[in-house]
Amino acid sequence: MGSVLTANIKLTAYGIDKEIKMNTKLTDEILEHLWVLREKGSKSYNELVNDMKDGDIHNAILKMEKAGLITLTNDSIELSAKGETRARDLTRRHRLAERLFYDVFEAEMEEAEYTACEVEHILSPAVTDSVCSFLGHPPTCPHGKAIPKGECCFKYSREVKPLVSQLNDLEVGSAARIVFITLHKDKSSGLQRLASMGIVPGSIIKLKQKAPAFVLEIDETTLAIDSPIAKEIYVKRLGFADKKG
């Protein structure tokens, strides 16, 4: 988990106007876990405590309630509007960091997860948006969970092309390296089919045509995929391919 910081923090950035002494890293982890539990349809206090397994969690939760980050009702624990904003930011940073370390830096999943847990607490909004733009505003993390959108996603213009983009945005005649594929776990058969054709992260492809189907060349093999699948494949453009590639 790394070192734990305890500080008097003034949470004015999230609309909280009073100072409360709290374990900032544990607070962030609780907020992020509440977001994950909500995605699963749960708001159970006991489930949160059992999942976190931290001896100081009860005390931390009470301080978070006083700070206006959460609300407690019997066994129910929910994010307040203030807590929602912070939890959303943390989840966005974490899942973008996972994408960066796993897909771009090719770290093992466990290492990508651990590193993302560390950096999510320190990424500024500007750096987070830069990472998101660099990755082409990915919709999901490597585990298939949704990445909350940021301002950069809504401001995204096709006139300013990110380093990583969807395959369907690639120009005919271009070569590119596959960075990641966003098909969910429930579409594992689709991922296996793509893998059998050599369409996996790291592969170099050349786009031959877009209509009526996307025609790609990989290692001198030509194959076709449908447009919906092309939207799930994110690539880094390498330039225009010559006859030799």
Give start and end residues of each alpha helix (H) in 44-108: 45-52, 57-66, 81-99
User: What crossing angle do the helices spanning 57-66 and 45-52 adopt, rounded to 10°?
Assistant: 130
6: left (phi over 0), alpha (psi -120 to 50) or beta: beta
Domain boundary among 34, 69, 85: 85
Looking at the structure, tell me whether residues 25 and 61 fall in a common domain: yes
Looking at the structure, tell me whether residues 10 and 74 fall in a common domain: yes
Looking at the domain assignment, is residue 245 inside a domain?
Answer: no
Looking at the structure, tell me whether residues 149 and 213 fall in a common domain: no
Residue with tokens 């058969």: 189
- DSSP letter at 83 equals H
Q: Tell me the CATH number at 97.
A: 1.10.10.10
Round to whole Å and give the CA distance between 146 and 13: 24
Domain boundary among 56, 85, 114: 85
Looking at the structure, tell me whether residues 79 and 95 fall in a common domain: no
Looking at the domain assignment, is residue 1 inside a domain?
Answer: no
Round to whole Å and give the CA distance between 116 and 40: 21
Looking at the structure, tell me whether residues 168 and 117 fall in a common domain: no
Digitized pLDDT (tens) for each residue of the chain, 245 residues in all: 333 333 444 444 444 444 445 578 899 999 999 999 999 999 999 999 999 988 889 999 999 999 999 999 999 999 999 999 999 999 999 999 999 998 888 889 999 999 999 999 889 999 999 899 888 888 999 898 999 999 888 876 544 457 788 898 899 999 999 988 887 555 566 778 888 899 988 899 999 999 999 999 998 899 999 988 998 899 988 876 543 43
Neighbours of 154 (CB within 10 A): 8
β-partners of residue 206 are 175, 217
Q: Tell me the CATH number at 202.
A: 2.30.30.90
Looking at the structure, tell me whether residues 176 and 195 fall in a common domain: yes
What domain count does the chain have? Answer: 3
Looking at the domain assignment, is residue 46 inside a domain?
Answer: yes
Nearest to 153 by CA among 168, 170, 171, 131: 131
Looking at the structure, tell me whether residues 108 and 142 fall in a common domain: yes
Strands (E), the chain: 6-10, 19-23, 70-73, 76-79, 164-166, 174-181, 204-209, 214-218, 221-225, 233-240
CA distances for 66 relative to 35, 54, 79, 80, 123, angstroms? 19, 20, 13, 11, 26
pTM to 2 decimals? Answer: 0.68
Range of the domain at 212: 164-240
- DSSP letter at 106 equals -
